[in-house]
């Protein structure tokens, strides 16, 4: 399976956070799975560090380095991802999910035909296949 990690899942994985569920750990450690992290996650971390809206104990450069050392594959941003984000829709009623980082990560997963691992309870409401809610 090819899996793109939501930013918080990537952070939990590289810091061995106890919030990472046994199911998530199993998928991350399965040698048959290819695990991806996005440059969008690196950008999100950089902006949160700059605004001090997060208490991360590592730099953006260290985040990228830790992900690469874990064997995760870096996914770059393409124009197709940006165009796909414009067409994301949620199933049913309710307000649109406004977090731009989540929206671009979901668009990347959709375009690249990757599963998307998240703990965000709002993301499974998107009309996108392959969301792994943990």
The domain 2-133 is placed in CATH, from the list 2.40.420.20, 3.40.50.1010, 3.30.70.260, 3.40.50.2300, at: 3.40.50.1010
Domain ranges of the chain: 2-133
| 6: nearest Cα among 127, 109, 110 | 109
Q: What is the pLDDT along the chain (134 residues), one digit of tens a residue?
A: 999 999 999 999 999 999 999 999 999 999 999 999 999 999 999 998 887 766 788 999 999 999 999 999 999 999 999 999 998 888 776 566 778 999 999 999 999 999 999 998 888 888 788 999 98
Q: Judging by beta carbons within 10 Å of its beta carbon (0-12, 13-18, 19+), is residue 109 exposed, middle or buried?
A: buried
34 CB neighbour count, 10 Å cutoff: 14
Q: Are strands 34-38 and 115-118 parallel, antiparallel or unpaired?
A: unpaired
- Strands 73-75 and 34-38, how do they pair? parallel
């Amino acid at each position: 399976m090819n899996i793109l990690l939501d930013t918080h899942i990537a952070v939990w994985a590289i810091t061995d956070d106890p919030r990472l569920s046994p199911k998530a750990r199993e998928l991350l450690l399965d040698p048959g799975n290819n695990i991806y992290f996005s440059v969008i996650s690196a950008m999100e971390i950089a902006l949160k560090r700059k605004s001090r809206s997060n208490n991360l104990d590592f730099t953006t450069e260290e985040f990228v380095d830790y992900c690469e050392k874990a064997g995760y594959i870096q996914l770059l941003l393409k124009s197709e991802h940006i165009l796909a984000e414009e067409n994301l829709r949620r199933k049913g009623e309710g307000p649109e999910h406004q977090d731009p980082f989540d929206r671009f990560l979901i668009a990347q997963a959709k375009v690249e035909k990757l599963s998307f691992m998240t703990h965000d309870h709002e993301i499974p409401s998107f009309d996108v296949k392959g969301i792994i809610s943990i």
